[in-house]
C-alpha cells in the first residue's frame, strides 16, 4: 500500500480556490510572500511527514511510551521527527521573520503542518503544544519570562505543556485543589496532582515548561480564584543553562486507547515541599489566560480530527480502488472477473461520506484559521473585530464538529477495509482509536455545547451568532441563481431559517424557563448548527466547482470538481436534513433527558 497521506490537489483547492490564501500577500505582514513561498512551506511539511512521520506512524502506537519508575521513555525516532519539525521551521510557521520564523498567514501555516498532523498527530503533539504554550506566554508573560521560557521552547530545546486536569477535577475546573504559596523571592511553591498531562514527561527536549493552574492560598472560590504558573521540570540558571530538578515528578503514565505516541502523564507537584512556580500575569486571572491556549488547542483538536479523517479517507480510497471482491447485483455470471470494491455503490457511499465529513471539517478549520488571522491582520478595525467575534462564536463548533465527524469517517474507513480494517496490519483501526480522543480532551463535546448555547450565542447581544448567520445568508444569495446550485442554496436557506427560529425560541426561553431545562439538549443545538455551517462550507466548495466547470477546466480537473459537487450533494441530502429532527427537540424544550430521574435507570 502506498496511499497518499493527503490529497495534494484538495489542499491546493482549499487554499487557493476556496479560500484566497494568495490574497493574503496584499497585507503588509505577508507582502514578502507569494504563492511560491506558500507552496514551498507546504512541500516542506509534506517532505518531513513522509520522511520522519510516516515510517513510524504505526510504531508509535505499538511501542508505547514506558515509565521506568522515574521518567517516560519514548522511541528515539519521535525525538528525530520533532527535531526535523523544528529544523524546518514548522513548529511555529507563523512566527515573525525577526524571530527566525516563516511569518506565514495562519491558513498557510495550518496547511503546512497538515501532512504532519495527518501522518502522526500524536507525534506532532509535542511541537504543537509547545507552540501554544509559547503563544500564551508571549501574550501574557513578562519580557523576562519570555526570554527565559519562550526562547528555548521556540528553539526546540524545551517543550511546553498545559496542566489543568486533576483527579477530582476534570471538566470542573472550579474545584481544582493544586495550591500555590508565595515564597520570599517572589516565586511560589506549588503542591498538587495533575493528570492526563500530554507530553508531561519525556526525554525529547532538555526541559519541559508546564503551565499550571493552581489556587493561591486565600483566593476566591471557583474559577475566579485560579492563577497560572510557569513550573519547569528543571530549574533554569540565569545564564539560561538547565539546572537542578524542580519538585515535579512523574507519578505514572496512562495507557490510552489511541494517540499513544504522545505521553499522557500523572504529575506530582511539591512532594518534597513545593515545586517552584512563577506567576504569569496577575493573580486569579489564570483561567482567562489559559483560555488563550485552550482556544488555540481547541482549533488544533478540530483540525487534527479532520486530518485524521482525511488520511483514513485517502487510505480506504486507495484500498477500494485496488481490492477486487464480488460482483454487482446486476451481474449474474459467476465466471466474470470480480470488480474492485469501489464499483459497489455502498462502498462509494462510505467513501463519499468520508469525503463529505473530512473535507467539510478541514475546510471549516481552515476557515477558522483565516478568521484567526483576520482578527489580527485584516485591513480595518471593523473587519478585525468582526473576525474575532465570529471566531470566538465558532470555536466550539470548530473543535466539536470535526471531533464527531472525523471519527465517523474513520469508522467508515474501517468498514471499507472489512476484516482487514479490524487488524493492526492496516492503520485505519489506529486512526479511529487516535481520533476517539478528540471529542473528550480540551473540553468534552457536552462542555462545548454548553459553551456554545449558554455563552457564545447570547454574548455581545448575539453579535457572533448574527455574524455567522449573515455570512451564511450571503452565500445563499450568491448561489440562488445558479441552476447547478439552486437545490443546495434553497436547502441551506431553509436550514438557516430553522436554526434562526430555533435559536430565537431558545433565547426567549432562557429568560423565562428553567435554565437547566433550556440547556438540557445543548448537544443537539451544537449538532444542528454544526451541520448547517458545514453545509454552508460545502455550498461554498460547490460554488467554486461550478464556476471552474463553467469556465471549462481540463479533463483531470473536471473529475475533481465533479467529486466536490457530488460530495456536497451527499452532505445536503444524507446529513443536512437530520437537523429538523434536532430542531424540533430543541424548539419544544423536549424534557426527555431532563426529566429522566436518576432512579429510573
State which of positions 456-515 bind its own copies (CB under 8 A): 514-515
Binding residues for its own copies restricted to 342-381, rule: CB under 8 A: 342-349, 351-352, 355
d(CA 457, CA 467): 11
Torsion 596-599-600-601 (CA) sign:
positive
How far out from the chain centre does Cα 595 lie? 34
Q: Any contact of residue 423 with its own copies (CB under 8 A)?
A: yes
Instruction: Select 71 or 256, whichever has its Cβ closest to its own copies.
Output: 256
Instruction: Select 93 or 443, whichever has its Cβ closest to its own copies.
Output: 443
Binding its own copies (rule: CB under 8 A), the pick from 174, 474, 504, 547 is: 174
CA distances from 421 to 58, 72, 414, 431 (A): 14, 31, 4, 11
Binding its own copies (rule: CB under 8 A), the pick from 8, 155, 418, 550 is: 418
H/E/C letters for each residue in 82-103?
HHHHHHCCCCCCCCCHHHCCCC
Q: Any contact of residue 388 with its own copies (CB under 8 A)?
A: no
| DSSP at 165 | -
Least distance CB 591 / its own copies (angstroms): 9
CA distances from 255 to 23, 64, 195, 249, 564 (A): 45, 8, 12, 18, 39
Question: Do the beta carbons of residue 148 and residue 313 sit within 8 Å?
Answer: no
Q: Which residue's entry shows cell 514527561? A: 201
Instruction: Select 76 or 168, whichever has its Cβ closest to its own copies.
Output: 168
The interface region with its own copies, picked from 84-92, 109-117, 127-135, 572-580 by CB under 8 A, is 572-580
Torsion 32-42-531-523 (CA) sign:
negative
x/- string (CB under 8 A) for its own copies, residues 241-280? Answer: -------------xxxxx-----x----------------
Q: Any contact of residue 168 with its own copies (CB under 8 A)?
A: yes
Instruction: Select 77 or 590, whichever has its Cβ closest to its own copies.
Output: 590
Q: Any contact of residue 193 with its own copies (CB under 8 A)?
A: no
H/E/C letters for each residue in 546-581?
HHHHHHCCCHHHHHHHHHHHHHHHHHHHHHHHHHHH
List 442, 484, 513, 578, catalytic entry: 442
Binding its own copies (rule: CB under 8 A), the pick from 385, 444, 459, 482 is: 444
Binding residues for its own copies restricted to 283-342, rule: CB under 8 A: 317, 321, 324-330, 334-335, 338, 342
x/- string (CB under 8 A) for its own copies, residues 392-411? Answer: -------------------x
Binding its own copies (rule: CB under 8 A), the pick from 297, 307, 397, 585 is: 585
d(CA 184, CA 274): 13
- What's the longest Cα–Cα distance across the chain? 87
Count of residues of this chain found to bind its own copies when the rule CB under 8 A is applied: 103
Binding its own copies (rule: CB under 8 A), the pick from 270, 439, 464, 530 is: 439
Binding residues for its own copies restricted to 208-227, rule: CB under 8 A: 220-224
Q: Any contact of residue 422 with its own copies (CB under 8 A)?
A: yes
H/E/C letters for each residue in 40-84?
HHHHHHHHHHHHHHHHHCCHHHHCCCEECCCCEECCHHHHHHHHH
Instruction: Select 342 or 544, whichever has its Cβ closest to its own copies.
Output: 342
Q: Any contact of residue 97 with its own copies (CB under 8 A)?
A: no
Instruction: Select 84 or 430, whichever has its Cβ closest to its own copies.
Output: 430
Nearest to 173 by CA among 275, 288, 299: 288
Nearest to 2 by CA among 41, 43, 45, 57: 57
Least distance CB 394 / its own copies (angstroms): 21
| DSSP at 93 | T
Q: Which residue's entry shows cell 470494491? A: 341
Least distance CB 510 / its own copies (angstroms): 10
Binding residues for its own copies restricted to 110-129, rule: CB under 8 A: none
The interface region with its own copies, picked from 75-83, 277-285, 304-312, 422-430 by CB under 8 A, is 422-430
| Other Cβ atoms closer than 10 A to 173 | 17
Q: Any contact of residue 1 with its own copies (CB under 8 A)?
A: no
d(CA 450, CA 515): 11
Binding its own copies (rule: CB under 8 A), the pick from 150, 280, 437, 495 is: 437
Nearest to 386 by CA among 465, 446, 458, 498: 465
Binding residues for its own copies restricted to 549-568, rule: CB under 8 A: 559-560, 562-563, 566
Least distance CB 54 / its own copies (angstroms): 20
Q: Any contact of residue 548 with its own copies (CB under 8 A)?
A: no
Least distance CB 578 / its own copies (angstroms): 6
Binding its own copies (rule: CB under 8 A), the pick from 454, 459, 473, 487 is: 454
d(CA 396, CA 387): 15
How far out from the chain centre does Cα 92 lie? 16
Q: Which residue's entry shows cell 489580527? A: 376
Nearest to 200 by CA among 268, 141, 149: 268
Q: Could you tell me which residues are beta bridge partners of residue 297?
A: none
Report helix, strand or coil for 167: coil
Instruction: Select 92 or 449, whichever has its Cβ closest to its own copies.
Output: 449
Q: Any contact of residue 601 with its own copies (CB under 8 A)?
A: yes
Instruction: Select 102 or 585, whichever has its Cβ closest to its own copies.
Output: 585
Residue 442 annotated to the active site:
yes
Q: Which residues does the annotation mark as catalytic? A: 442
Amino acid at each position: 500500500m502506498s496511499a497518499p497521506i493527503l490529497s495534494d490537489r484538495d489542499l491546493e483547492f482549499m487554499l487557493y480556490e476556496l479560500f484566497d490564501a494568495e490574497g493574503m500577500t496584499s497585507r503588509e505582514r505577508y507582502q514578502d510572500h507569494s504563492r511560491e513561498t506558500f507552496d514551498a512551506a507546504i512541500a516542506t511539511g509534506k517532505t518531513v511527514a513522509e520522511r520522519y512521520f510516516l515510517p513510524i506512524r504505526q510504531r508509535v502506537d505499538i511501542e508505547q511510551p514506558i515509565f521506568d519508575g522515574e521518567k517516560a521513555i519514548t522511541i528515539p525516532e519521535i525525538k528525530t521527527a520533532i527535531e526535523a519539525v523544528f529544523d524546518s521551521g514548522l513548529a511555529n510557521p507563523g512566527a515573525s521573520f525577526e524571530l527566525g520564523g516563516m511569518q506565514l498567514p495562519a491558513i498557510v501555516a495550518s496547511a503546512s503542518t497538515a501532512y504532519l498532523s495527518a501522518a502522526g498527530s500524536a507525534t506532532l503533539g509535542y511541537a504543537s503544544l509547545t507552540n501554544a504554550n509559547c503563544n500564551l506566554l508571549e501574550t501574557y508573560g513578562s519580557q523576562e519570562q519570555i526570554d527565559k521560557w519562550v526562547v528555548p521552547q521556540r528553539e526546540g530545546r524545551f517543550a511546553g505543556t498545559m496542566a489543568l486536569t486533576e483527579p477530582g477535577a476534570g471538566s470542573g475546573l472550579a474545584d481544582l485543589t493544586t495550591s500555590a504559596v508565595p515564597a520570599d523571592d517572589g516565586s511560589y511553591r506549588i503542591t498538587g496532582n495533575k493528570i492526563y498531562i500530554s507530553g508531561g514527561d519525556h526525554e525529547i527536549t532538555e526541559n519541559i515548561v508546564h503551565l499550571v493552574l493552581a489556587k493561591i492560598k486565600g483566593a476566591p472560590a471557583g474559577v475566579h480564584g485560579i492563577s497560572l504558573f510557569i513550573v519547569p521540570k528543571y530549574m533554569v540558571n540565569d545564564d539560561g543553562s538547565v539546572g537542578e530538578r524542580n519538585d515535579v515528578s512523574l507519578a505514572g503514565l496512562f495507557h490510552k486507547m489511541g494517540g499513544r505516541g504522545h505521553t499522557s502523564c500523572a504529575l506530582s507537584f511539591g512532594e518534597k515541599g513545593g515545586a517552584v512556580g512563577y506567576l504569569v500575569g496577575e493573580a486569579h486571572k489564570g483561567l482567562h489566560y489559559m483560555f488563550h491556549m485552550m482556544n488555540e488547542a481547541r482549533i488544533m483538536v478540530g483540525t487534527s480530527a479532520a486530518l485524521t479523517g482525511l488520511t483514513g479517507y485517502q487510505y480506504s480510497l486507495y484500498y477500494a480502488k485496488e481490492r477486487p471482491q464480488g460482483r454487482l447485483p446486476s451481474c449474474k455470471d459467476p465466471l466474470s472477473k470480480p470488480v474492485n470494491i469501489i464499483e459497489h455503490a455502498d462502498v462509494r457511499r462510505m467513501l463519499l461520506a468520508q469525503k463529505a465529513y473530512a473535507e467539510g471539517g478541514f475546510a471549516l478549520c481552515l476557515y477558522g484559521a483565516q478568521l484567526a488571522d483576520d482578527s489580527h491582520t485584516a485591513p480595518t478595525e471593523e473587519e478585525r473585530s468582526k473576525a474575532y467575534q465570529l471566531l470566538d462564536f465558532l470555536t466550539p463548533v470548530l473543535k466539536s464538529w470535526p471531533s464527531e465527524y472525523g471519527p465517523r469517517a474513520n469508522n467508515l474507513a474501517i468498514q471499507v477495509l472489512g476484516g482487514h480494517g479490524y487488524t493492526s496490519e492496516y492503520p485505519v483501526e489506529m486512526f479511529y482509536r487516535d481520533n476517539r480522543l478528540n471529542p473528550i480532551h480540551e473540553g468534552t463535546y457536552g462542555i462545548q455545547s454548553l459553551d456554545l448555547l449558554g455563552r457564545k450565542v447570547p454574548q455581545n447581544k448575539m453579535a457572533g451568532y448574527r455574524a455567522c448567520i449573515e455570512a451564511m445568508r450571503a452565500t445563499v444569495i450568491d448561489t440562488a441563481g445558479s441552476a447547478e446550485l439552486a437545490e443546495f442554496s434553497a436547502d441551506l436557506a431553509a436550514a438557516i431559517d430553522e436554526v434562526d427560529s430555533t435559536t430565537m425560541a431558545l433565547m426567549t426561553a432562557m429568560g423565562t424557563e428553567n435554565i437547566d431545562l433550556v440547556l438540557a439538549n445543548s448537544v443537539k443545538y451544537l449538532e444542528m448548527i454544526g451541520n448547517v455551517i458545514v453545509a454552508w462550507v460545502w455550498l461554498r466548495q460547490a460554488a467554486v466547482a461550478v464556476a471552474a466547470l463553467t469556465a471549462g477546466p481540463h479533463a483531470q480537473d473536471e473529475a475533481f470538481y465533479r467529486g466536490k459537487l457530488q460530495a456536497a450533494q451527499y452532505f445536503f441530502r444524507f446529513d443536512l436534513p437530520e437537523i429538523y429532527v434536532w430542531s424540533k427537540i430543541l424548539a419544544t424544550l423536549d424534557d426527555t433527558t431532563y426529566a429522566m430521574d436518576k432512579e429510573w435507570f
